[in-house]
Structure 1
Amino acid sequence: MFQTFDDLSDPSCGAPHAALLRAELKQLSLDGFLVPRADAHQGEYVPPHDCRLQWLTGFSGSAGTAAVLMDDAAIFVDGRYTIQVREQVNMDVFPAQHLINEPVTDWLAARLKPGQRIGYDAMLHPVREVRRLQSVCDKAGAELVALDQNPIDAVWKDRPEAPVGAVALHSEKLAGRSASDKISEIQTAIAAKDAGACVLTQPDSIAWLFNIRGSDVTHNPVPLSFAVVPASGKPSLFIDGRKLSNSVRETLHALVDVEGPQGFKAKLADLGKDGASVMIDPSLAGQGIADAIVNAGGKLVEAADPVLLPKAIKNDAEIEGARAAHLRDAVAYAKFLCWFDDIAPSGELDEIGAAEKLEQFRRETGVLKDISFDTISGAGPNGAICHYRVSRKSNLMIPVGRPFLIDSGAQYEDGTTDITRTLAVGEQSAEMKRHFTLVLKGHIAISSARFPLGTSGAQLDTLARIDLWKAGLDFDHGTGHGVGAYLSVHEGPQRIAKTGTVPLKPGMILSNEPGYYPAGEYGIRLENLELVTEPSGIEGGERPMLGFETLTLAPFDLRLVDRDLLSDAERDWLNAYHDKVLSQLSPLLDDKTLTWLEEATAAI
């Protein structure tokens, strides 16, 4: 299977590993050290080789930071992980803090003393973050010390090797554009910023630009590498040569100069010695990259990664690929839902069994490359953990009488999917149906929204929450994230969230996933992927409006819907969506699954 169910966390590691780190810091004359959940590429997913935060604390979530002083420490996570962190981390060693309510900078400001030296790995902290840390240290009279070598690496005796996953070429037919065409576009953007070159650190940006895919990190088909793209001339790709077959290397050589990772810092120094103006994204590029350029005499041009927006706006080939991938995935998902309804009411199905069966149905398509993330298979209280990862230790039987949450996705060469459904197992209470329907109303509000050019995800986010807010409820995560084209299941810059300030544009794909999570009881989340459509007129209106095309094709569980809470327009939307699901899937299903789907999509 693509998913394993090994227990990745060990709360008991916190005390001994913190002691090892503090002993190393003492040798380095440091009074503290910062440990982000990050690698040098600042991607969301990092290989085991770089899971330093997990080694130190036991926390396996996708975002977080630990701060370690000689007599104090803490771990900082966002709202997705407030439950998980307390289960995976020894709170006596690393008390948990909410990184929004008490960010690392505030915690340090309350504790730093004049003359203290706080270390950080200069490749793991982006430039913008280091500025905030520097300001705190300056005010306290402390020194922020950039380190070339991470002290954790010196005491992590069984550290895994760096990944050397094979790189594959991504066909132009699926990409929709040649790599040379993409390079020309990005070079034009670099020149427009009066920069001589740009440094790319994001694995999915590099994969998109050069039409390559990799296998260095779990479930995301990206190669870990760096790239330097000049405003004119041949780019340079810095990647471990063991990842490249002869044929892949030959194809790449026509586009780029291929060098080993050890040549990256030397290239930055050469740019600096030439006095070049080098473009970096201060939110993504490690401080060590900026230092290598500036210390050699170069200048920085700070701007967003120029690949992010073109990558986010899918072309016709990528859009058709997404539609095909979602239709294929929907057939597998319908088979799973039919099977689940047969098995789950017995009370003999567990979380792992559900995740395994769903992956099996996707494998039966014959073209599954991977799942797009570890399936979140949450029964009862585990469903209330937003990013729950089931392990053999945490695995629960799926109870009758409570909703079951399953969030999953697939990687196909023509597209990436991500879908969440909350399913009724047995009779559900009126309160459960009420919560489900309030979440569904928010989902429908996003899906049916029309909005003018220039509208950001932050402006839409309230639509998903307003009915929950009226009931005194909310959820602690964004409403939607961007999704790549056989790339990362979470991509920027587009998102539907309070922090989603980038205007949405036709061709972007985003998730629509409001939720509600009563702690210790159950979780509800309803997620489809949405394609931003071209602007079109509305009868009687003055301006053309953008909208969404729903790509995901799977029924919502009508047994959890309180029909009285839906407006006529919301019922019409739900019936129309279910008509679409039935009509598109009917020719592709076996008799048993079709019979099940006909009932599951019956009009209300």
Structure 2
Amino acid sequence: MTFQTFDDPGGQGDHAARLAQLRSQMAQDGIDAFIVPRADAHQGEYVADADARLAWLTGFTGSAGFAIVTRDQAGVFIDGRYRVQVKEQVDPAHFTPVPWPETRPSNWLRQSMPAGGRVGFDPWLHTRKEIEAMERGLAGSGLGLIAAEHNPVDAIWADRPAPPVGQARPHEIAFSGETAADKRARLAADLRKHGQAAAFLSLPDSISWLLNIRGNDLPKNPVVQGFAVLSDSGHVTLFSDPAKFDDDLRRFLGDEVSILHPDGLTAALLDLTGPVRIDPATAPEAAFRLLERASTRIMPAPDPVIMPKSRKNPAELRGMREAHLADGVAMVRLLAWLDRQPAGTLTEIDVVKQLEEYRRVAGVFDISFDTICGAGPNGAIVHYRVTQGSNRKIGTDDMLLLDSGGQYRNGTTDITRTLPIGSPPAETIAPYTAVLRGMIGLTQARFPVGVTGAHLDALARQYLWQQGMDYDHGTGHGVGAALCVHEGPVRISRASDLALQPGMILSNEPGYYREGSFGIRIENLVIVTEVEAEENRSMLGFETLTLCPIDTRCVDRGAMARHEIGWLDAYHAMVRDALSPYLDPAERDWLDRATRPLRD
């Protein structure tokens, strides 16, 4: 089974010609600019081939960003994770990378267009929150923000792929820990409590979690794409291609779940009785406009599934622990294999393929994202994706950054390890040690109930900051239980205002990237847990899920505090005890060496 391809879907085609076609279509539609987002109508990180408009138009394949095309400019807006990648993927003769969020799109439009210009957007591809922010930013500019009746990119995309119709399947109670009927009843009671007649759901992972189903519509994310309406009685109307649901699954869902084709969504929203709960941060602007057209009372509020989904129950936590045990075995086998290979004989693709084979044996049915395997300068590309064109032979003086994960029936994994191939380059020792110390500092954090990810973010960066270093991505993201590897709304970043709660699972992944030279990132997944405190105050901390040695060849032991070395030695002892029974003698020998205590 092959999980990852190594072509470059964003790089195929004449993007200059597509840009010219789009401008011609815009002129026919009477608009002077058009916004092309990365997102689809469900606002997920991953999109189906049919919805990969940004990649098709520009060549940029990152998981976040957007383009704005005017009559004479085409800006590709990217955040700090993609500053290097975008320069390698877009044609600078036609597309200009724009740093975002430093540059607000409304300000860019003000500077790029004359007053009276018409800025078009597809209301199905933007949330209400996004559109309201853009309207505020354009206020007084003389520019008009116009909801397009038809997407001009779709109009010129002659060979656009068909929407996915992946087969859906039940997610067993042993993994979910709660029946779909109980979930629906619990959330329906909350709707009644707040005087809401129904809730509109647009996030596929919310719908999949609520109904205890999983699917194959998107690679690497086992969700069923669709929209849903949850009524205050607990009934769910699911708008998804009926071909995805066989008779057994329909019986599993029961009579309180109706399945309609997505073509029926517009009429259903126009007929919906309010008040309707709908999330301005995740639901498409088009849904709001349909409800407003019908004069239906709207109650803006967060998706009611998001928070229950983020707080994993005991069965979900058990499944995640089991998945990480299996994944740890696969990772150790990969790392032991890697150390056995003659120096200079492997490429990045060789490593990716071997890791996927070990994970296949461990029980994965898919990877949880395209494996990031970056050697030397490729490691400095935060979300690097190896292709046949970029594939690099791993040299004897390279740092190798390996960020990967698997989708198991009982859980989702995400792990990063960075290791030297041969002797560690001298310039990597200080940043590697600072990254490791930051990861340990966050892992050991104890904090009161009510603390947010923004409060904790600096713990992972402090040792980098002391040396004038930093990284341009968040420190941690939420992770789903046998769902999406990137799960909102919880995260650890300077922009997070959500309090951490027991049962949430997050990544802990500080890093450092030197463009053109190397990248460093160390990542474990952690569970938010309740911890004992001496005073009468509720306190939280973290339990580590990930089971895999952390390479110590780049560690400056003299720079580490005694308690940090103590944590690392204890972690390695836990890894050794957990994984050794599943390894052959040679692999156990390797693990014994890799987890040898640092403390004298």
The interval holding the TM-score normalised by the smaller chain is over 0.9
Is 2:424 the counterpart of 1:454? no
- 2:347 is matched with 350
Counterpart code for 1:516: Y
Change (3 A) 1:496 1:233: closer
Q: How many Å separate the matches in 2 of 1:433 and 1:101?
A: 31
Structure 2 SS opposite 1:184: helix
- Does structure 2 conserve the Cα–Cα contact (< 8 Å) formed by 1:12 and 1:90? no
Q: How many Å separate the matches in 2 of 1:342 and 1:129?
A: 51
Q: Kindly state the Cα deviation for residue 133 of structure 1 after the two structures are TM-superposed.
A: 1.6
Q: How many Å separate the matches in 1 of 2:416 and 2:155?
A: 41
Counterpart code for 2:594: A
Structure 2 SS opposite 1:531: strand
Counterpart code for 1:579: A
Structure 1 SS opposite 2:346: coil
- Does structure 1 conserve the Cα–Cα contact (< 8 Å) formed by 2:184 and 2:234? no
- Does structure 2 conserve the Cα–Cα contact (< 8 Å) formed by 1:513 and 1:527? yes
Q: How many Å separate the matches in 2 of 1:109 and 1:194?
A: 42
Structure 1 SS opposite 2:304: coil
- 1:333 is matched with 331
Q: Kindly state the Cα deviation for residue 148 of structure 1 after the two structures are TM-superposed.
A: 3.1
Is 2:379 the counterpart of 1:379? no
- Does structure 1 conserve the Cα–Cα contact (< 8 Å) formed by 2:343 and 2:422? no
Change (3 A) 1:239 1:376: same
Q: How many Å separate the matches in 1 of 2:474 and 2:140?
A: 33
Q: How many Å separate the matches in 2 of 1:255 and 1:153?
A: 36
Q: Kindly state the Cα deviation for residue 11 of structure 1 after the two structures are TM-superposed.
A: 7.9
- Does structure 2 conserve the Cα–Cα contact (< 8 Å) formed by 1:512 and 1:528? yes
Q: Kindly state the Cα deviation for residue 542 of structure 1 after the two structures are TM-superposed.
A: 4.3
- 2:117 is matched with 116
Q: How many Å separate the matches in 2 of 1:486 and 1:472?
A: 38
Is 2:358 the counterpart of 1:361? yes
- 1:391 is matched with 387
Counterpart code for 1:321: G
Q: How many Å separate the matches in 1 of 2:441 and 2:239?
A: 45
- Does structure 1 conserve the Cα–Cα contact (< 8 Å) formed by 2:348 and 2:391? yes
Q: How many Å separate the matches in 2 of 1:305 and 1:148?
A: 26
- 1:107 is matched with 108
- Does structure 2 conserve the Cα–Cα contact (< 8 Å) formed by 1:482 and 1:495? yes
Q: How many Å separate the matches in 2 of 1:13 and 1:60?
A: 15
- 1:553 is matched with 547
- Does structure 1 conserve the Cα–Cα contact (< 8 Å) formed by 2:185 and 2:234? no
Matching of residues 142-181 of structure 1 within 5 Å: 142-181=143-182
Structure 1 SS opposite 2:8: coil
- 1:465 is matched with 461
Q: How many Å separate the matches in 2 of 1:500 and 1:577?
A: 28
Change (3 A) 1:128 1:563: same
- Does structure 2 conserve the Cα–Cα contact (< 8 Å) formed by 1:325 and 1:415? yes
Q: How many Å separate the matches in 2 of 1:136 and 1:567?
A: 48
- 2:572 is matched with 578
- Does structure 2 conserve the Cα–Cα contact (< 8 Å) formed by 1:456 and 1:504? yes
- Does structure 2 conserve the Cα–Cα contact (< 8 Å) formed by 1:109 and 1:136? no
Counterpart code for 1:362: R
Q: Give CA-to-partner distance per residue, 1:58-78, whole Å, 9 cap, x none.
A: 101111110011122201011
Counterpart code for 1:405: L
Is 2:301 the counterpart of 1:300? no
- 1:422 is matched with 418
Counterpart code for 1:302: P
- Does structure 1 conserve the Cα–Cα contact (< 8 Å) formed by 2:184 and 2:235? no
Q: Give CA-to-partner distance per residue, 1:281-330, whole Å, 9 cap, x none.
A: 10111110000001111121111111111000000000111111101111
- Does structure 1 conserve the Cα–Cα contact (< 8 Å) formed by 2:187 and 2:234? no
For structure 2, the 5+ residue unaligned runs are none
Q: How many Å separate the matches in 2 of 1:176 and 1:109?
A: 52
- 2:504 is matched with 508
Q: Give CA-to-partner distance per residue, 1:450-509, whole Å, 9 cap, x none.
A: 111011111000000011001000000000000001000000111011112111111100
Q: How many Å separate the matches in 2 of 1:39 and 1:188?
A: 31
Q: How many Å separate the matches in 1 of 2:112 and 2:327?
A: 51
Q: Kindly state the Cα deviation for residue 10 of structure 1 after the two structures are TM-superposed.
A: 2.1
Is 2:277 the counterpart of 1:279? yes
Matching of residues 58-73 of structure 1 within 5 Å: 58-73=59-74
Q: How many Å separate the matches in 1 of 2:190 and 2:266?
A: 24
- Does structure 2 conserve the Cα–Cα contact (< 8 Å) formed by 1:327 and 1:553? yes
- 1:89 is matched with 90
Structure 1 SS opposite 2:223: coil
Counterpart code for 2:87: R
- Does structure 2 conserve the Cα–Cα contact (< 8 Å) formed by 1:112 and 1:137? no
Q: Kindly state the Cα deviation for residue 521 of structure 1 after the two structures are TM-superposed.
A: 0.4
Counterpart code for 1:300: I
Equivalent residue in structure 2 for 1:528, among 524, 527, 536: 524
For structure 1, the 5+ residue unaligned runs are none
- Does structure 2 conserve the Cα–Cα contact (< 8 Å) formed by 1:515 and 1:523? yes
Equivalent residue in structure 1 for 2:288, among 287, 290, 305: 290
Structure 2 SS opposite 1:534: strand
Counterpart code for 1:418: D
- Does structure 2 conserve the Cα–Cα contact (< 8 Å) formed by 1:38 and 1:124? yes
- Does structure 2 conserve the Cα–Cα contact (< 8 Å) formed by 1:197 and 1:228? yes
- Does structure 1 conserve the Cα–Cα contact (< 8 Å) formed by 2:343 and 2:395? no
Q: How many Å separate the matches in 2 of 1:263 and 1:457?
A: 40
- Does structure 1 conserve the Cα–Cα contact (< 8 Å) formed by 2:234 and 2:256? no
Structure 2 SS opposite 1:237: strand
Q: How many Å separate the matches in 2 of 1:386 and 1:20?
A: 32
- 1:13 is matched with 14
- 1:240 is matched with 241
- 2:587 is matched with 593
**Higher mean C-alpha displacement, 257-266 vs 11-20:** 11-20
Equivalent residue in structure 1 for 2:562, among 562, 568, 577: 568
Q: How many Å separate the matches in 2 of 1:233 and 1:460?
A: 38
Q: Kindly state the Cα deviation for residue 34 of structure 1 after the two structures are TM-superposed.
A: 0.4
Counterpart code for 2:384: Y
Q: Give CA-to-partner distance per residue, 1:105-143, whole Å, 9 cap, x none.
A: 221122333322111000001001101222233321222
**Higher mean C-alpha displacement, 75-84 vs 1-10:** 1-10
Q: Give CA-to-partner distance per residue, 1:392-416, whole Å, 9 cap, x none.
A: 1000001111210000000001110
- Does structure 2 conserve the Cα–Cα contact (< 8 Å) formed by 1:252 and 1:258? no
- Does structure 2 conserve the Cα–Cα contact (< 8 Å) formed by 1:11 and 1:89? no
- 2:483 is matched with 487
Counterpart code for 2:480: G
Structure 1 SS opposite 2:132: helix
Structure 2 SS opposite 1:198: strand
Equivalent residue in structure 2 for 1:543, among 537, 546, 555: 537
Q: Kindly state the Cα deviation for residue 12 of structure 1 after the two structures are TM-superposed.
A: 6.6
In the comparison of the two structures, how many residue pairs are matched?
597
Counterpart code for 1:449: A
Q: How many Å separate the matches in 2 of 1:191 and 1:148?
A: 35
Q: How many Å separate the matches in 1 of 2:77 and 2:176?
A: 38
- 1:324 is matched with 322
Q: How many Å separate the matches in 1 of 2:266 and 2:590?
A: 59
Q: How many Å separate the matches in 2 of 1:373 and 1:320?
A: 22
Q: Give CA-to-partner distance per residue, 1:383-434, whole Å, 9 cap, x none.
A: 0000000001000001111210000000001110000000111111332111
- 1:256 is matched with 257
Q: How many Å separate the matches in 2 of 1:3 and 1:281?
A: 34
Q: TM-score, normalised by structure 2?
A: 0.98
- 1:442 is matched with 438
Counterpart code for 2:432: F
Q: How many Å separate the matches in 1 of 2:58 and 2:104?
A: 18
